[in-house]
Amino acid sequence: MTIAVVGSINLDIVTRSPRLPKAGETLHGSSYATFLGGKGCNQAVAASRLGSTTHFIGRVGQDGFGQEALTQLASFGVSRQYVQIDEKTATGIAVIGVDANAENAITVIGGANMALDESDIQRALEPLQAADILLLQLEIPMAVCEGAARLAHNNGATVIFDPAPAPKEGLPDSLLGMIDIITPNESETYSLTGILPTNALEAEKAANALHDKGVKAAIIKLGAHGVFYSGYGTQGFVKPFKVEAIDSVAAGDCFNAGLAHSLDCAKAINSESFAEAVRYAAACGALATTKHGAAPAAPYAEEVHKLLG
Ligand code: RIB
């Protein structure tokens, strides 16, 4: 069983301050660090660290940040074979502020990630056609997501889609119809359905709206309030795991990687394995908040099993 991830790879510049600055304000922070990041790359590192055979398809620029990102990617055990070096565009970066409550605010400059095109899919046909699960997010062009989803869908793979960052123009019906599992957070759910999922009832309404759009299963991430899931003949709610959160960056990415890994380990996706995978994913997301940075915050399988009890 293998997982393919088509998505972004960034160098993250992360500052820590007691709180996030307001518009027009200059604030003294306490420290900063650089980490490997990008929603796609974080998902690939996390799925691989959990034990799934994982292929990452992305792009960096021909610059120092790109070299640094590739070196770090390899150090996390993910092959750089399907990461194209773009001679015309700079490596993607993210400038991230993290406050004392572990909350974050992110500005992403997509750079080479937004230059991904059909050629990246063609270069990676082998792992994409072999994948049982495809992980997608939206820090790359929508057309590339659609192309990769079509390939995976036609090959019978499970397409897990994180609509982050939320697209202003919504998602095309053609893409929605190929998504097996969608995983929006509260604001992404609002932007896709017009429903703000402030409680389980509203989350259920939003999930039903997503089903109506053609998505098989919806997992609504409610941050510190837990996770609502609906699909594969089951619905339920996973309460948040209690952990010492210091940095919420990449928690959503580790959630999706955990979901994919758990489903990858299951013999078939049914109501039981789906519900179990959501719980596993929630544990992965929670553990990611206990460590600094994006890709380096990915949990190990032993940590997840310990938290699941
Ligand atoms: O989801 C967290 C990620 O979002 C960061 O690693 C940053 O690069 C942005 O893409």
Atom number of ligand 1 nearest to Cα 294: 6
pLDDT at position 223: 84
Could you tell me the distance, in angstroms and rounded to a whole number, from the CA of residue 103 to the centre of ligand 1? 13
pLDDT tens for each residue of the chain, 309 residues long: 899 999 999 999 999 999 999 999 999 999 999 999 999 999 999 999 999 999 999 999 999 999 999 999 999 999 999 999 999 999 999 999 999 998 899 999 999 999 999 999 999 999 999 999 999 999 999 999 999 999 999 999 999 999 999 988 899 999 999 999 999 999 999 999 999 999 889 999 999 999 999 999 999 999 888 999 999 999 999 999 999 999 999 999 999 999 999 999 998 999 999 999 999 999 999 999 999 999 999 999 999 999 999
Question: What does the H/E/C string look like for the chain?
Answer: CEEEEECCCEEEEEEECCCCCCCCCCCCCCEEEEEEECHHHHHHHHHHHHCCEEEEEEEEECCHHHHHHHHHHHHCCCCCCCEEEECCCCCEEEEEEECCCCCEEEEEECHHHHHCCHHHHHHCHHHHHHCCEEEECCCCCHHHHHHHHHHHHHCCCEEEECCCCCCCCCCCHHHHCCCCEECCEHHHHHHHHCCCCCCHHHHHHHHHHHHHCCCCEEEEECHHHCEEEEECCEEEEECCCCCCCCCCCCHHHHHHHHHHHHHHHCCCCCHHHHHHHHHHHHHHHHHHCCCCCCHHHCCCHHHHHHHHC
**Cα of 129 from ligand 1 centre, angstroms:** 27
Residue 161: the pLDDT is 98
Ligand 1 contact, 8 CB (< 6 A): yes
Active site residue 253: yes
Please tell me the pTM assigned to this model. 0.96
CATH node for 2-308: 3.40.1190.20
Which of 63, 120, 132, 253 is labelled catalytic?
253
> What pLDDT is recorded for position 200?
87
Of ligand 1's listed atoms, the one at least distance from the Cα of 10 is: 8
For ligand 1, atom 9, name the residue with the nearest CA. Answer: 38
- Ligand 1, residue 93: give the atom nearest the CA: 8
Cβ(249) – ligand 1 distance below 6 Å: yes
